[in-house]
Structure 1
Amino acid sequence: MAPTRRAVSTSVLAVALVMPLASGTAQASPAANHPRLAHSTLMTSRVLPLPGTVNARDIGGYRTYDGKTTRWGVLYRSETLSKLPPEGVHALADLGLRSVIDLRTGPEMQADGADRLPAGVTLIAQPVDDTSLFAFIGMVVRSKDPVYQQQQLGGEKAAVRMEALYRAFVTNPANRAALGAAVRTVANSHEPSMFHCSSGKDRTGILADTILRAVGVPASTSEGDYLLSNELRAASDAALKSQLKAAGFMQDPTLLDPLLQVRSSYLGAFRAQAVADYGSFGAFLTEGLGLDTLTLFKLRLRIVG
């Protein structure tokens, strides 16, 4: 029996609230190329063929200032793992993971569901505040009011909200504590680890940026890893916007683009706030995130080969 209009609308709204589009297999093309990546062949090995995700990848293979390279198969980043089908759980098990760091907030986990993890993998909840972005998006989409949606998201309003979100990753003490704890978990791990938020792009992106730069990866290279989310999420984001329009939730779903995308200006807001508050990136690591020299040394040994 074909689903009713009401059933379809409810499903689409659930997708809108959670942000990542539930999918059975990764949608990204391994042949996709990013201008900041030195070799297009990296895309084949970097993007994980993890069913139920579109933005799961390895952060290995990045060159550091001293000519060394981040290790493959040690640390992974992803979006939510709550949509994994059984074959996705099996693929996750093949990575040999022992811990998964979940950066989602409580309301996100309640709406999106718990991670589906293989037996023996420890889930570590380190929620990072999204400044009510999750609730805000749901409110705006549910309104179905194009005038209200334009008022809330039009012009530069959505982008300004995103930059405020990124600054709050630094200014919010609880966020700094959670990010610092996540870095310590990675540094002290002896088995492969993964970290994620809902879409795998914002909180996951700044944690990846922090770790990569902390172990000596140039800021421009780390930014390339951050921006890669736009390519990997492009197909699922386009499908989400199409569904929202077809179901009558938004006349102009492109208003969501600043919220769905990552942008250099967002990452720049995070980096600038860290320097403004602590004087340098190094001081942000030690004073802001509470990472001591031994932890940073262990992180480098863990991540760089």
Structure 2
Amino acid sequence: MPPKVSMLADIPGEENIPSRSSPTASTALPLHPTFFPFHIIPGISNFRDVGGWPISGESHVRKGVLYRGSDTNRVTPDGIARLQELHIKTDFDLRSSQQIERTGGYKVLGGMTRIWTPVFADEQYTEEAAKQRYELYAGEGTDGIVTAFIEILTSGTTMFRTVLRHLLATIPPSSDETAPALFMHCTTGNNRTGVFISLLLLLLGVPESVVIEEYALSEKGLAPTRHINVERLLKKGAFKEYGPEEAQRKCERMVGARPESMRALIEEVKRRWGGPEGYFKEHVRLTGEEIARLKTLLNVT
């Protein structure tokens, strides 16, 4: 198990927008984590390496080839420089067109190719459909969020196949070679991105308990900017029918990553597809040979 170091550092370039959902002037914001597997990228929250997690014995998931995080709308020049230092060459944007338009477009990242691979098609991201998903994400139990997660997994298969085949085509076989890395993100990096990364780690053989731990790290990764995302949701009118206090509680649950949610999803994946490999073969439509190559490329000692 990778060590857990409680060393934190602030990150420049993030907005601290005062609002009814943000901390008071006398309350310090949580700091951006710097312990494994997080990286400080000014202007991008919840950014971390997908590699480093144990598989079995002395082997672990290969580092430096796939990163995950939130959107790049607020990334600073220093943040872009850090992404370049990590040799990130491709930015896979999982957001729907409406989300991108509402935030003023997308940020051009120097030296990186942006590939737009939305999880949901435009017709799936209507105002009514989004409202229904919000209710599923924000429920107190796990039934609703697992329903939302399964929709993500079944709607985003084209995206996932594109990302994984890009990995297969670009990652050098030797871990001694510097890889042209990929950055995969949605809006906050906890739901869409988190679900796909969890399934990939399960496919590679990372223990379920570790996958749950990795997923739940978004609680810490998003803590410094949670007030911004909650305020954004409230301004959109999310849960306004519940009243201000309950609406805020529901928004906060949306911008989180509860371990029990991933635990319940893993059980549902087993029930539906017999485990991650069944999902990748049946829905993502990877061949047995492609799955074997992924496991070889991403498993290092």
What TM-score, normalized to structure 2? Answer: 0.73
RMSD in angstroms over aligned alpha carbons? 3.7
- Provide the C-alpha distance between the structure 2 equivalents of 1:137 and 1:51, rounded to a whole number of angstroms: 33
Correspondence list, 1:198-277, <5 A: 198-238=187-227, 241=230, 251-252=244-245, 253-277=248-272
1: distance between equivalents of 2:41 and 2:280? 32
For the residues of structure 2 that align with 1:204 and 1:240, how far apart are their CA atoms?
16
Relative distance call for 1:109 and 1:129 in structure 2 (3 A) is same
Structure 2 unmatched ranges of 5 or more: 1-16, 23-29, 172-179
8 Å CA contact 1:89, 1:117 repeated in 2: no
The DSSP-based 3-state class of the residue aligned with 2:56 is coil
CA shift in 2, pair 1:243/1:27, >3 Å: farther
Gap change, CA 1:104 and 1:158, over 3 Å in 2: farther
Q: CA deviation at 1:258?
A: 2.1
The change in CA–CA distance for 1:132 and 1:12 in structure 2 (over 3 A counts) is farther
Q: Displacement, 1:134?
A: 8.8
Residues 241/210 of structure 1: CA separation in 2 closer, same or farther (3 Å cut): closer
Partner of 2:8: none
Matched residues in 2 for 1:80 and 1:111: separation?
13
Structure 1 residues 244 and 97: CA distance shift in structure 2, 3 A? closer
Moved more, 75-84 or 275-284: 275-284
Shift of 1:251: 2.6
Task: Describe the shift of the 1:240–1:92 C-alpha distance in structure 2 as closer, same or farther (beyond 3 A).
Answer: same
Residue in 2 that maps onto 1:77: 68
C-alpha contact (below 8 Å) 1:79/1:196 kept by paired residues: yes
How far is 1:213 from its partner?
A: 1.6
Letter in 1 for 2:256: Q
What is the CA-CA distance between 1:197 and the residue it aligns to? Answer: 0.6
The DSSP-based 3-state class of the residue aligned with 2:91 is: strand
Amino acid at match of 1:188: A
Relative distance call for 1:103 and 1:138 in structure 2 (3 A) is: closer
Could you say which residue in structure 2 is the equivalent of 1:34?
Answer: none
Q: What's the counterpart of residue 179 of structure 1?
A: 160
Aligned length: 260
CA separation in 2, counterparts of 1:194 and 1:243?
24
Residues in 2 aligned to 1:210 and 1:156: alpha-carbon distance in whole angstroms: 22
More helix by share: 1
Query: Which residue of 7, 28, 33 maps to 1:29?
Result: 33
Amino acid at match of 1:164: T
Q: In the alignment, what sits opposite 2:177?
A: none
Structure-2 separation of matches of 1:260 and 1:137 = 18
Match 2:88 to one of 81, 86, 97:
97
Match of 2:287 among 288, 292, 298: 292
8 Å CA contact retained: 2:67, 2:184: yes
Aligned twin of 2:14: none
CA–CA separation in structure 2 for the residues paired with 1:64 and 1:29? 24
Counterpart of 1:188 in 2: which secondary structure?
Answer: helix
8 Å contact kept, 2:229–2:255 = no
